[in-house]
Amino acid sequence: MGGILIITGAVSVGLYAFEAWSVAGAADQSIVFWMLPFLLGGLLLIGFGVTLLVFWRLLAKAESER
């Protein structure tokens, strides 16, 4: 589950970065502002996915030590 969240977040951040790069020289760069939820949501998904993976590993380690 954590890996899926990380991949989805990375795709979202990558989409935002591509769009920001593609309009870098344009006069109207409002699309970068309107796509800000892609960046923020992607970063949130990556952070949540990493947190889930860390907790999952800690839980597995605690179970194996029993």
Please answer whether residues 9 and 46 qualify as being in contact, where contact means their C-beta atoms are separated by less than 8 angstroms.
yes
Tell me what pLDDT residue 64 has: 85
pLDDT band at 14 (very low <50, low <70, confident <90, very high): very high
Tell me what pLDDT residue 11 has: 94
pTM over 0.85: no
Please tell me the distance from the alpha carbon of residue 22 to that of residue 65, in angstroms, as a whole number.
Answer: 51
- Residue 2: name the closest of 39, 40, 41, 57 by CA: 57
Please tell me the distance from the alpha carbon of residue 23 to that of residue 31, in angstroms, as a whole number.
Answer: 8
Q: Decide if pLDDT at 27 tops 80.
A: no
CA dihedral 53, 55, 61, 66 (to 10 degrees): -140
Tell me what pLDDT residue 34 has: 86
